[in-house]
Chains A and B, each alone.
Chain A
């Protein structure tokens, strides 16, 4: 079953069209990667799915319901959550307040204590820093907090834009480990990632986006064998 479907979506900024009929499907419980060169429209795709940008055309369905025109906060309430590019933390608020804000959806509030414990287990560093202002943390710590805040929302679908950007290799490995854990919990994940090799290694399925359209899709194993992908993204 597909938990999230994007049918033939067009969108852009002002007069400038960026997405030209993009279609993506997320299978329930799977980890899907969305890769593509800089400026291909990956972030725009996620922002359109989330409702931060209104789709010009096309349809977005979540659990079978048309959510194309819902505001972002209602999508989050339903379990569609984005960890945005550039983290977008509440920099003036403490680490724990950020996590509390992450748990705004009704479902997440009920299990707040349990989820907080789980997140602190995944990221012990955040527990040490719980009373620190988010804006004063290091880049890596902020990235952990961005992911942790997303988990606090108890997502059914978690979309992550640039998981590893600017992070030390050890941290990147840790975060990819976290993705596997989240998948085990049954969360469907859509991952946008610069490190195509790692992204395809953890994911079940992948899409290659080019100039606002899906250029290629397939199981991650197929994509890793594909000559074009190897040449363009894996440097092989």
Chain B
């Protein structure tokens, strides 16, 4: 019983981080109707940023998260300008292939440099004991940061001029042009924000779970499941979807082996696509 409770809380905390990874994916979809298949490698780059800064320079992982965010943002804008911009109005297959190519390039270079051997950030903060359950502080702090990032994203989208520009472009791009919003620049920044969220998620996960350069793929597919669960293009849905998935991952091990987790997640994915294709909370448009 206590084990289940601890595992549930662990899953719930992880859910906030899944939430921001999925928000990144869903933000990009909402603004430009592109499914970013390079989401996973960026998550992995976020992990390696924290890892390398900590292992080689001793930079604390939470500062590493900040740098991962900056790298994710810049890299995203570059990916957009080079690979996505040209195909943004083409059929979806073109942008899928373009972002998949980026995915292969990053994975290829990453594998060449880092190999696929597992890493972990050798960093401990101890645990919090509540009655009979223990929770790692690293998980708690990561979840708190994820909540902060979510709040920050909302503040940005609803209270700042650039954030409102992003919502305007997502809502009606040509109308945005007509009122004087430089929509191409805004779309590029949105892509960067989406990848920034991926990099932050990766950097946070790296503070308490082991990973490889290929690990991003798993989290990318989880982001798909969550985005569809919450409704593509709906950031609040992404957060709630993330929490649902996190809780599921907390419960499943109590009943069966963890190897069944992806199977169950994808069965859920298919069921939602069949029964509620717009997600539990409604998709954009």
Interface residues in chain A, defined as those with a beta carbon under 8 Å from any beta carbon in chain B: 50, 52, 71-74, 76-77, 81-82, 84, 88-93, 97, 100-102, 104-105, 108, 149, 153
- Segment from B8-16, B99-107, B165-173 that makes contact with A: B165-173
8 A Cβ contacts from B182-198 to A: 182-184
CA distance A222 to B176 in the complex (A): 38
B180: chain A residues within 8 A (beta carbon): 73, 76-77, 104-105, 108, 153
- Would A72 and B177 count as touching, CB distance under 8 A? yes
Interchain Cβ contacts under 8 Å between A and B, 25 examples: A50-B178, A52-B177, A71-B184, A72-B174, A72-B178, A73-B177, A76-B177, A84-B175, A88-B178, A90-B168, A90-B171, A91-B171, A92-B167, A93-B164, A93-B168, A93-B171, A97-B164, A97-B167, A102-B179, A104-B180, A104-B181, A108-B180, A149-B179, A153-B179, A153-B180
- Would A89 and B182 count as touching, CB distance under 8 A? no
Q: Which of A81, A90, A92, A97 has the most CB of B within 10 A?
A: A90
B interface majority secondary structure? helix
Question: How many residues of B are in contact with the other chain, CB < 8 A?
Answer: 17
The total of Cβ contacts below 8 Å across the A-B interface reads 71
Known: A97-B164, A100-B164, A101-B164. A76 touches B179 (CB 8 A): yes
A108: chain B residues within 8 A (beta carbon): 180
**Minimal beta-carbon separation of B185 from chain A (angstroms):** 9
**Minimal beta-carbon separation of A19 from chain B (angstroms):** 19
A97: chain B residues within 8 A (beta carbon): 164, 167-168
Question: Interface readout for B149-165 with A: 1 if CB under 8 Å, 0 if not?
Answer: 00000000000000011
The residue from A76, A81, A101 contacting B168, defined by CB atoms under 8 A apart: A101
Chain B residue at minimal CB-CB distance from A47: B174
CA distance A81 to B168 in the complex (A): 17
- Would A52 and B164 count as touching, CB distance under 8 A? no
- Would B171 and A104 count as touching, CB distance under 8 A? no
Chain A residue at minimal CB-CB distance from B284: A92
Q: Beyond A52-B174, A74-B182, A88-B172: 13 further Cβ-contacts under 8 Å? A: A71-B177, A73-B178, A76-B179, A82-B178, A84-B174, A90-B168, A90-B171, A91-B171, A92-B171, A97-B168, A102-B179, A104-B165, A105-B180
